[in-house]
Amino acid sequence: MEVSRPRIPVTLLIVIAVLLVLGFLAGQYINNVMTEEQLADNVFINAVPFVLIFAAIILGFIAIIYVVASMLDNNIPARTHRIIEQILIGGIILGVVGMFQPWLFEGYKYGFLLLLISTLCFILWSHITPKRELVQEQAAAGPLGQENLESGSGAE
């Protein structure tokens, strides 16, 4: 398997860093300037640091998807891609079952973690294009490919 060099989204990484810094600075500023009563009355002001940091986390996940997809696109065999995809779907199903079973609290805890990890991995994996197989490429060539083969065999 030939792994290509990843393309790094530098602008996206800069935006992530800026959002993180703004989120932490906004949190410090809001806690230093406002009183407890003002914070209780102004829920939206309280949410500003959370929204900035959450946006940075989401953009970080997008950056990871972009880098991994640029490395693995058209490098994973279709069968392997399908098997991993089915394993991730199975993890999602087991996580849901673990969360909704009424017998064990541990099942809920581990079911949630399995569901979270399987879902995030499935989102990442769904952005990776498997390697095209030779049969698919020949079928895509269609009748033109057949005509070329027939005319080439008659000329000999």
Dist. CA 31–CA 103, nearest whole Å:
42
Dist. CA 90–CA 102, nearest whole Å:
20
pLDDT of residue 155: 47
Dist. CA 57–CA 129, nearest whole Å:
24
Asked whether residue 132 is domain-assigned, the answer is yes
Q: Are 107 and 101 in contact (CB under 8 A)?
A: yes
With H, G, I as helix, E, B as strand and everything else as coil, classify residue 143: helix
Dist. CA 35–CA 46, nearest whole Å:
12
Range of the domain at 52: 1-72
Residue type, 153: S
Counting the structural domains of the chain, the total is 2
The answer to whether residues 103 and 67 belong to one domain is no
The answer to whether residues 47 and 66 belong to one domain is yes
Q: Are 138 and 145 in contact (CB under 8 A)?
A: yes
Asked whether residue 148 is domain-assigned, the answer is no
Asked whether residue 114 is domain-assigned, the answer is yes
Q: Which residues of the chain have pLDDT under 50?
A: 154-156
The answer to whether residues 103 and 119 belong to one domain is yes
The answer to whether residues 64 and 81 belong to one domain is no
Dist. CA 39–CA 46, nearest whole Å:
6
- DSSP H or E run through 17: helix 10-33
Q: Are 55 and 19 in contact (CB under 8 A)?
A: yes
- 110 burial level (CB within 10 Å; 0-12, 13-18, 19+): middle
pLDDT of residue 148: 53
